[in-house]
Amino acid sequence: QVQLVESGGGLVQPGESLTLSCVVSGFTIDAYNIGWFRQALGKEREGVSCITSSDGSTYYADSVKGRFTISRNNVSNTVYLQMNSLKFEDTAAYFCAIDPLLEARQLCLLASVWSYRGQGIQVTVNA
């Protein structure tokens, strides 16, 4: 059974950091492209950051460039999203998703097509 389980969310103050983890079970992630997505209340879903398995190329939404970093550990079957300098507007439900075909930029820009996704985790940035 394929499962993607996110962890690491929570409540932080502006300027602080969080690291989200997405542990995948049921198959190995080394052949899959993976992304982090978010959806805030009343807003459209956004592809935050995605990574291509074949060459490690990454995509970042303009809103998070320079602050967020995506990484993957194929041994532990885990994908991470390091989030620094968090802002109020980063408040959202974050989830990870994977796809074998869509490369990082496509996966993130479409933000609606994947093979599997996790349930999501809340990140709240509030003073």
What backbone torsions phi and psi does residue 5 show, to the nearest 5 degrees?
-125, 120
pLDDT band at 17 (very low <50, low <70, confident <90, very high): very high
Position 4 scores a pLDDT of 97
CA distance 90 to 94: 10
Q: Residue 8: phi, psi to the nearest 5?
A: 100, 0
Predicted pLDDT at 27: 84
The answer to whether the beta carbons of residues 49 and 64 sit under 8 Å apart is: yes
The dihedral over CA atoms of 51, 15, 91, 67, expressed in degrees to the nearest 10, equals -20
Mean pLDDT, residues 90-100 taken together: 97
Mean residue pLDDT of the chain comes to 96
In whole angstroms, give the CA distance from residue 97 to residue 86. Answer: 22
Residue that is written with structure tokens 């990574």 in the block: 51
User: Do 34 and 21 form a contact (C-beta atoms < 8 A)?
Assistant: no
Give the mean model confidence (pLDDT) for residues 81-87.
Answer: 98
With a cut of 90, say whether residue 7 has pLDDT above it. yes
Looking at residue 88, its pLDDT comes to: 98
pLDDT, tens digit (0-9, with 9 covering 90-100), for 25-81: 998 888 899 999 999 999 999 999 999 998 999 999 999 999 999 999 999 999 999
pLDDT-above-90 percentage for the chain:
93
Which runs of E-coded beta strand occur in the chain? 3-7, 10-12, 18-25, 33-39, 46-51, 58-60, 68-73, 78-83, 92-99, 116-117, 121-125
